[in-house]
């Protein structure tokens, strides 16, 4: 996904410090107001330690950290800025926890110039003093106590000796090395040098019992001197040897060497690596090389490395340093490499351990580079002895040490994202080119410094060309004060012409033309105009152009495709998109979205016309994402979230397949939001966080800006540092597998699905593409058997998805032999071809998928796929016993139980990858969706569905199971309902170990079986209420007095909050209405109320049931925006015209024509493709539904189908969206009047009484369920927009379209009126006469 691929943390200008850890070595150097911590081997950024965390007043100072030292024993890092000193400590089991250890504040005039820390002692050198502090721990609070301080010249460096007895120091004003006693600060010796000293190194001798001080000094002429104590004065150091160029090279070569550097190779680090090499098993060919290594180790040589001007290396050794007398010192050249090993003599060179490897890491600076030093090849002078691992080559230019210390304020990229500019707080900045093809790094192309004229706005052109008012020669143009400036994408990168768009403070748009030709840059003002809006907008923003570059407008056909350039946001939250037109640059509006959001603080628009708005609220900042396609079926709102943390930055990126990724910047993190694929069963949010970049443990500075670059790369600016996040490039020959890229991850979350994905298979089953599903399963089995990689699997051709099921069945049917005579016997094959969709083949496939699931499917998706494959096999076996709607219910029911079972399982212990957003946890659902229940309601296979539902409950369905499956919603037969309620009553009584008659009384009383309950109480000897109930139920409840007694008991039970038992007593007392009210008000179970009403009233026309539907179900459906539930309620009320219209029409329009009291209307919920499936079934099923269909305008139905097609695309089923718009029939039921004379002709005894459209002629029958004389009107005279949309004036062309649609509507209403009248006459048909057919 997105990993930190590069950090731009300046170039070290002084010596480096190191912390040696068990698993890695950390490299530290100061930069600006921070200490930069890198991994020494690969130079990967680890952390920045900010000085202002301890001293906040230093946050915006122009000073930088001057001194830095590291203490490996206690893992301390000490840094100084001015007269302040800060100490950090590294702790934790993994050494990954940094904290402020302590601090030290000196007098204001004592600027620290040198530091050294060792074993709790801190030496601080200033411009006029040298002080030593001791670390004291009081109450676990570390403090520094001054031990002594003495006046000395201004110091440049100080070093503690290994024994802590001495301090060596150098001054800025002379070439003398001063030696001080650590205990008192008294100077014991001053060692003069002929040249300025550049480094001091005390030699540590752990193998020697002697504690003599041994000092190495290096001067500016690349000469290393060795000072040893004399025998009679151990505190006095004397020069015993010097290593210069002439000591390591022949005189003829050394005399020509003008530039070289010499460095000491750390003896402890080197010896540890040499011993690890010797401990390895050796081969015969390595034996000779190992002798040299063994000799170095045993003799205890000190090694020194000289780098010559041609990049060659010379290794010198000095022997016998630990021996006495000192005259036994011996120096010699060990090896010399070929030229070009290094780029030249570096200022600093170090060798550090490489934990876990037998090699060492060699660091040079500047520029900062890391090499792997292989011991055996290196000491054999082979070319592969030193291998470059990492480098900070972006700082290799001449002004690398002049990196700006000012903090980043804002980024600006080129339209194609391959160049970016950074503006800093002091007005300076730089321009970078994103070299993604070769190195994947940013390469600096130019910079500008802070000037007297402050830079407020800037743009970056292709390939990092900078255009400001300070070009050479200067190109100036007088324009109004601009609040925003950006460049449009160019049709060709070679074109010298660029177009700039500027937005002024008064919201006028300035169009500027820039001509870039060599050194000649000209600017010209093309136009300055306002957008044609009734009121000035609150803000005008650019539409991100990144997705257009390289895909559109390339100029290959001469004309670039027009894209939206500007987005205007009004005070009322209305979004308008604009494109330029003509030479005079007039602005044309291409779309409007009414969001209703006021008080915007931030907004951005992507190239896919996705807009994000930020509105401050009392709960936090509201983030909403809007689509540009607004209609009566979609308000445009795709996502809403209220975030408690302030949002500092927004930026859009585009994927190659046209999807958008939003980067939301906070103070210390960046969250990436991408669109989520919609699912059929789960209510997933439209957008979700797919990745998080947390900078909390990386840098303490807040994030100032973040911006997308090309190829899904994100650049983040925090303080004065830049961080680039992208896809890591694996080295050639790397064994690890390349991880999923951001674009691949987004495509997997929201792109087109594979044909075998369970959601695709499910939708194909729901839309009656059984043969297609069989082909998908067979093709999946073949791909798995082939053993090919999943990326090489074969896919079904597109034509298979566009066929009707009967056509596919005819194509896939086996060719049977044709018979010419009755008793002809065809020549059969010895072995018939095996059916690829046989039960055995499917079982084999299921076994394989259970053992080896498809890799990129989640466990839930793999489980769903197994269920769907098994269901497809059962459908094939029971195809004659199950209709299409029964099949849809069966699929939904099986998925319901599968998902609930998986939601009940414990979650996987595996934690998500670092940076990924937390995965959505499966939630257990209490019931099937009403949508799935309605399929069973419109099914003709209810007996099969009931038996299957009972089997899914383990053969014992209780009321919670019946409610979860909506059994008493979808059952038609009254007798079947009564029988099934008795089954439920029996199961409720038998549930559990205790046989409690109160659990089943409600259902038995609804069935009128009081005596049966009386018998059950006789067996409940354990129950404390047995005697009372036996005595009470022994009465005759047909008598009014006992009914009254039952009602009194019911009210008493209500006071005791025994609601279900109270409802049972209301039924016993003959008050169905009170029992229903208890179910609705106290139990909040309207399904139980419907079940009781349908059973007690023995039908669907009772007043209690109608009251439940009108007063409870329909208002609930409008409140939840559930069109399926409302359609079912209208169907039960015999208002089937409304049952059809509610599936398509806006809820606000429907609320005005229903009899129920609608107080609240929820979301429209047009994001379900099954709405179109149910509408296509019902719109011509009966005369009432035909009437309802006729009152839906043709344009409304057209937009409805387009909305469902978009929903299919949101679900990843793009091919099904294509099939929907390709095969949808817009034919409507109406009379077909050829001419007026034909209408006056007498009816023929052979023809029907009324002519129908072809869509109805194909139906075998149409139910007559309407009374023409009593049917009330169900539509207002003219359609009107919802109140929320009426606030904004409609476009000019809208009234024409409304007028046209209304005329079409009047004609259709007249047609349906004739249709109903003809049907009314046709009810009185003459007696059947067989002669009419001849």
Cα–Cα distance list, 336 to 312, 347, 1017 (Å)? 7, 20, 106
Q: Cβ(176)–Cβ(193) under 8 Å?
A: yes
The residue ranking higher by pLDDT, 150 or 380, is 150
DSSP 1187: H
Half-sphere exposure of 1095 (CA within 13 A, CB side): 27
Q: Mean pLDDT check: name the lowest of 281-290, 448-457, 511-520, 1309-1318.
A: 1309-1318
Q: How far is CA 149 from CA 181, 182, 200, 704, in A?
A: 12, 11, 21, 43
By the 8 A CB rule, do 243 and 263 touch? no
pLDDT-based confidence at residue 379 (cuts at 50, 70, 90): confident
Q: List, in sequence order, every residue forming a beta bridge with 76; answer none if it has no partner.
A: 71, 89
- For range 1263-1292, the mean pLDDT: 45
Q: What are the φ and ψ backbone dihedral angles of 60, each rounded to 5 degrees?
A: -115, 25
Find the range with the poorest average confidence among 87-96, 331-340, 468-477: 468-477
CA dihedral of 1250, 1251, 1254, 1260, whole degrees rounded to 10:
30
- Phi, psi dihedrals of residue 25, rounded to the nearest 5°: -115, 130
pLDDT at position 520, please?
72
Cα–Cα distance between 202 and 158 in angstroms, integer? 11
- Write the CB contacts of 868 (distance below 8 Å, at least 6 apart in sequence): 758, 761, 762, 765, 773, 891
pLDDT, mean of residues 639-668: 92
pLDDT band, residue 506 (cuts 50/70/90): confident
Per-residue model confidence (pLDDT) at position 113: 94
pLDDT score for 735? 52
pLDDT at 910 (0 to 100): 37
Quick one: what percent of the chain has pLDDT higher than 90?
40
* Rounded Cα gap, residues 756 and 857, in angstroms: 10
- How are strands ordered across the β-sheet holding 509-517? 482-487, 497-504, 509-517, 520-529
> What's the whole-model pTM score?
0.81
H or E element, residue 984:
helix 974-990
Please give the structure tokens belonging to residue 326: 């000192």
What pLDDT was estimated at residue 732?
54
pLDDT of residue 934: 95
Backbone angles phi, psi at 598, to 5 degrees: -115, 155
Q: Per-residue pLDDT tens for 248-272?
A: 787 767 777 778 899 999 988 998 8
pLDDT at 208 over 80: no
Q: What is the mean pLDDT of the chain?
A: 82
Residue tagged 């109903």 (tokens): 1316
Is the preceding omega at residue 366 within 30 degrees of 0, hence cis?
Answer: yes
- Whether residue 1130 is predicted with pLDDT greater than 90 in this model: the reply is yes
Q: What is the DSSP pairing of strand 313-319 with strand 67-71?
A: unpaired
pLDDT at position 1281 over 70: no
485: confidence class by pLDDT, cuts 50, 70, 90? confident
Confidence of residue 780 (pLDDT cuts 50, 70, 90): very high
411 contacts 707 by C-beta, under 8 angstroms: yes
pLDDT band with cut points at 50, 70 and 90 for residue 819: very low
Do residues 567 and 540 lie in contact, with contact meaning Cβ atoms separated by under 8 Å?
yes
Closest CA to 116 of 148, 150, 154, 85: 85
Degrees, nearest 5: CA angle 251-253-255: 65
Please give the pLDDT value at position 397. 45
Average pLDDT value for residue range 98-122: 93
User: How far is the C-alpha of 322 from the C-alpha of 214, rounded, in Å?
Assistant: 10
What contacts 1306, CB < 8 A, 6 or more positions away?
A: none
Residue 1165 in tokens: 């919920």
Distance CA 711, CA 436 (A): 8
The answer, yes or no, to whether residue 1290 has pLDDT greater than 60, is no
Please give the Cα distance from 266 to 1046 (Å, whole number): 99
Q: Which residue spans within 1234-1275 are E strands per DSSP?
A: none
Dihedral, 1316, 1317, 1323, 1329 alpha carbons, nearest 10: -110
Reported confidence tier of residue 1333, pLDDT bands at 50, 70, 90:
very low
Strand order in the sheet with 197-202: 197-202, 215-219, 224-229, 237-243
**pLDDT confidence of 173, banded at 50, 70, 90?**
confident
Name the burial class of residue 878, with classes exposed (0-12), middle (13-18) and buried (19+) by CB atoms within 10 angstroms of its CB. Answer: middle
CA distance 1217 to 802: 10
- In this structure, what are the phi and psi dihedrals at residue 999, rounded to the nearest 5 degrees? -70, -25
CB-CB neighbours of 177 under 10 Å: 23
pLDDT tens profile 1152-1168: 888 888 888 887 778 88
pLDDT of residue 1066: 94
Question: Which residue would you say has higher pLDDT here, 1238 or 835?
Answer: 835
Question: Quick one: residue 585, left, alpha or beta (phi over 0 = left, psi -120 to 50 = alpha)?
Answer: left
Kind plus residue range of the DSSP H or E element containing 78: strand 76-81
Q: What is the pLDDT of residue 818?
A: 47
Average pLDDT, integer, range 328-343: 86
pLDDT over 70 percentage in the chain? 82
**Quick one: which H or E segment has residue 45?**
strand 45-50
Q: How confident is the model at residue 1064 (pLDDT cuts 50, 70, 90)?
A: very high
pLDDT at 453: 55
Q: What is the pLDDT of residue 300?
A: 81
- Phi and psi at 1041, nearest 5°, equal -65, -40
The pLDDT of residue 1094 is above 90:
yes
End-to-end CA gap in the chain: 77
Q: pLDDT-based confidence at 285, cuts 50/70/90?
A: low
pLDDT tens-place string over residues 837-847 = 888 888 899 99
8 A C-beta contact, residue 690 and residue 703: no
Lowest-pLDDT choice from 433-447, 687-701, 727-741, 1110-1124: 727-741
Angle value at C-alpha 77, between 76 and 80, nearest 5 degrees: 140
Q: Which of 17-21, 131-135, 1266-1270 is the least confident region?
A: 1266-1270
What pLDDT was estimated at residue 1283?
Answer: 40
């Amino acid at each position: 996904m997105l990993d930190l691929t590069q950090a731009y943390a300046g170039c070290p200008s002084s010596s480096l410090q190191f912390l040696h850890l068990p698993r890695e070595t950390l490299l530290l150097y100061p930069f600006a107001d921070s200490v930069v911590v890198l991994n020494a081997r690969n130079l990967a950024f680890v952390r920045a330690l900010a000085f202002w965390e301890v001293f906040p007043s230093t946050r915006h100072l122009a000073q930088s950290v001057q001194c830095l030292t590291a203490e490996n024993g206690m893992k301390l890092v000490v840094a100084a800025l001015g007269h302040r000193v800060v100490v950090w400590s590294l702790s934790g089991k993994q050494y990954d926890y940094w904290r402020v250890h302590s601090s030290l504040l000196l007098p204001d005039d004592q600027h620290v110039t040198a530091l050294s820390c060792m074993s709790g002692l801190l030496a601080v050198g200033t411009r006029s003093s040298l002080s030593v502090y001791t670390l004291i721990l009081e109450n676990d609070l570390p403090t520094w106590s001054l031990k002594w301080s003495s006046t000395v010249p201004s110091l440049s460096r100080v070093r503690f000796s290994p024994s802590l007895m001495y301090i060596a120091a150098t001054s800025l004003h002379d070439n003398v090395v001063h030696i001080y006693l650590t205990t008192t600060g008294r100077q014991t010796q001053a060692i003069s040098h002929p040249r300025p000293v550049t480094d001091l190194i005390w030699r540590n001798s752990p193998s020697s019992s002697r504690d003599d001080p041994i000092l190495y000094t290096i001067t500016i002429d690349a000469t290393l001197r060795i000072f040893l104590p004399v025998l009679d004065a151990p505190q006095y150091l004397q020069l015993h040897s010097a290593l210069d160029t002439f000591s390591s090279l022949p005189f003829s070569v050394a005399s020509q060497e003008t530039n070289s550097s010499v460095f000491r190779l750390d003896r402890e680090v080197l010896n540890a690596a040499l011993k690890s090499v010797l401990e390895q098993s050796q081969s015969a060919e390595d034996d000779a090389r190992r002798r040299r290594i063994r000799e170095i180790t045993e003799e205890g040589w000190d090694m020194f490395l000289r780098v010559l001007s041609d990049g060659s290396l010379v290794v010198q050794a000095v022997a016998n340093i630990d021996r006495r007398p000192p005259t036994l010192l011996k120096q010699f050249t060990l090896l010399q490499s070929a030229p070009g090993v290094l780029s030249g003599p570096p200022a600093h060179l170090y060798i550090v351990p490489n934990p876990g490897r037998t090699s060492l890491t060699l660091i040079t600076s500047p520029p900062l580079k890391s090499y792997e030093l292989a011991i055996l090849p290196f000491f054999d002078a082979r070319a592969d002895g030193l291998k470059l691992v990492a480098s900070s080559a972006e700082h290799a230019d001449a002004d690398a040490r002049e990196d700006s210390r000012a903090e980043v304020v804002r980024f600006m990229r080129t339209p194609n994202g391959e160049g970016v500019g950074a503006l800093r707080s002091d007005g300076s900045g730089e321009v970078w080119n994103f070299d993604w093809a070769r190195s994947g790094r940013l390469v600096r192309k130019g910079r500008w410094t802070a000037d007297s004229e402050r830079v407020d706005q800037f743009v970056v052109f292709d390939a990092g060309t900078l255009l400001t008012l300070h070009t050479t020669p200067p190109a100036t143009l007088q324009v109004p004060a601009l609040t925003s400036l950006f460049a449009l994408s160019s049709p060709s990168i070679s074109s010298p012409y660029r177009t700039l768009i500027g937005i002024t403070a008064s919201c006028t748009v300035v169009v500027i033309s820039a001509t870039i030709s060599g050194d000649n840059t000209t600017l010209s003002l093309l136009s300055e105009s306002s957008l044609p809006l009734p009121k000035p907008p609150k803000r005008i923003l650019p539409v991100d152009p990144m997705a257009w570059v390289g895909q559109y407008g390339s100029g290959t056909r001469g004309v670039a495709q027009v894209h939206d350039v500007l987005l205007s946001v009004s005070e009322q939250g209305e979004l308008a998109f604009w494109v330029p037109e003509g030479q005079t640059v007039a602005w044309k509006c291409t779309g409007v979205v009414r969001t209703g959001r006021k008080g915007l603080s931030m907004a951005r628009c992507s190239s896919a016309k996705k807009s994000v708005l930020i509105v401050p609220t009392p709960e936090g900042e509201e983030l909403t994402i809007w689509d540009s396609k607004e209609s009566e079926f979609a308000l445009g709102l795709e996502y809403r979230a209220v975030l408690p943390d302030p949002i500092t930055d927004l930026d859009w990126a585009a994927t190659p397949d046209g999807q958008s990724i939003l980067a939301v910047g906070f103070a210390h993190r960046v969250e990436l939001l991408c669109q989520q694929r919609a699912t059929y069963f789960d209510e997933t949010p439209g957008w979700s966080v797919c990745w998080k970049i947390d900078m909390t443990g990386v840098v303490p500075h807040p994030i100032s800006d973040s911006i997308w670059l090309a190829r899904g790369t994100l650049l983040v600016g925090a303080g004065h540092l830049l961080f680039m996040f992208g896809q890591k490039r694996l080295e050639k020959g790397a064994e690890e597998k390349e991880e999923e890229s951001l674009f691949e991850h987004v495509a997997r979350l929201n792109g087109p699905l594979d044909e075998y994905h369970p959601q695709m298979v499910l939708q194909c089953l729901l839309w009656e593409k059984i043969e297609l599903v069989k082909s998908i399963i067979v093709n999946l089995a073949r791909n798995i058997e082939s053993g090919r990689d999943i990326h090489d699997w074969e896919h079904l051709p597109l034509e298979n998805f566009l066929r009707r099921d009967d056509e596919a069945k005819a194509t896939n049917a086996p060719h049977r032999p044709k018979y010419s005579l009755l008793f002809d016997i065809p020549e059969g094959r010895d072995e018939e071809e095996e059916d690829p969709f046989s039960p055995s083949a499917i079982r084999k496939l299921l076994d394989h998928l259970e053992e080896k699931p498809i890799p990129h499917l989640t466990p839930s998706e793999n489980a769903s796929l197994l269920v769907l494959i098994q269901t497809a096999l059962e459908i094939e076996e029971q195809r004659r016993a199950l209709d299409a709607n029964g099949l849809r219910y069966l699929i939904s029911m099986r998925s319901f139980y599968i998902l609930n079972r998986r939601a009940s399982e414990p979650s996987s212990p595996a934690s998500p990858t670092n940076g990924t957003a937390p995965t959505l946890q499966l939630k257990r659902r209490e019931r099937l969706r009403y949508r799935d229940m309605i399929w069973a309601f419109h099914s003709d296979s209810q007996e099969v569905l009931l038996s299957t539902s009972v089997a899914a409950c383990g053969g014992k369905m209780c009321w919670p199971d019946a409610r979860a499956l909506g059994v008493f919603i979808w059952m038609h037969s009254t007798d079947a309902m009564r029988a099934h309620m008795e089954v439920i009553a029996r199961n409720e009584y038998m549930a559990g170990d205790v046989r409690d008659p109160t659990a089943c009384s409600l259902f038995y009383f609804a069935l009128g079986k009081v005596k049966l309950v009386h018998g059950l109480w006789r067996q409940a000897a354990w129950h404390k209420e047995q005697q009372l109930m036996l005595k009470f139920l022994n009465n005759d409840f047909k008598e009014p007095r006992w009914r009254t007694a039952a009602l009194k008991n019911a009210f008493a039970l209500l006071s005791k909050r025994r609601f279900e038992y109270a409802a049972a007593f209301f039924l016993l007392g003959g008050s169905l209405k009170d029992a229903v009210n208890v179910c609705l008000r106290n139990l909040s179970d309207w399904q139980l109320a419907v079940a009781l009403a349908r059973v007690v009233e023995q039908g669907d026309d009772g007043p209690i049931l109608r009251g439940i539907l009108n007063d409870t179900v329909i208002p609930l459906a409008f409140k939840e925006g559930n069109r399926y539930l409302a359609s079912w309620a209208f169907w039960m009320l015999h208002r089937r015209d409304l049952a059809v219209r509610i599936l398509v029409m806006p809820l606000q329009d429907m609320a005005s024509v229903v009899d129920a009291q609608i107080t609240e209307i929820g979301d429209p919920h047009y994001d379900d493709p099954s709405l179109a499936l149910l509408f296509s079934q019902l719109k011509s099923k009966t005369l009432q539904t035909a009437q309802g269909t006729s009152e839906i305008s043709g344009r409304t139905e057209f937009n409805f189908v387009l909305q469902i097609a978009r929903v299919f695309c949101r679900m990843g089923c793009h091919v099904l969206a294509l099939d929907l718009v390709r095969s949808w029939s817009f034919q409507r039921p109406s009379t077909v009047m050829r001419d007026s004379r034909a209408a006056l002709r007498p009816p023929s005894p052979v023809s029907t009484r009324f002519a129908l459209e072809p869509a109805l002629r194909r139906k075998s029958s149409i139910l007559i369920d309407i009374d023409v004389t009593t049917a009330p009107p169900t539509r207002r005279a003219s359609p009107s927009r919802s109140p929320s949309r009426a606030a904004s004036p409609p476009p000019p062309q809208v009234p024409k379209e409304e007028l046209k649609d209304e005329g079409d509507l009047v004609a259709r209403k007249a047609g349906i009126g004739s249709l109903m009248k003809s049907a009314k006459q046709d009810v009185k048909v003459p007696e059947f006469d067989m002669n009419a057919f001849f």
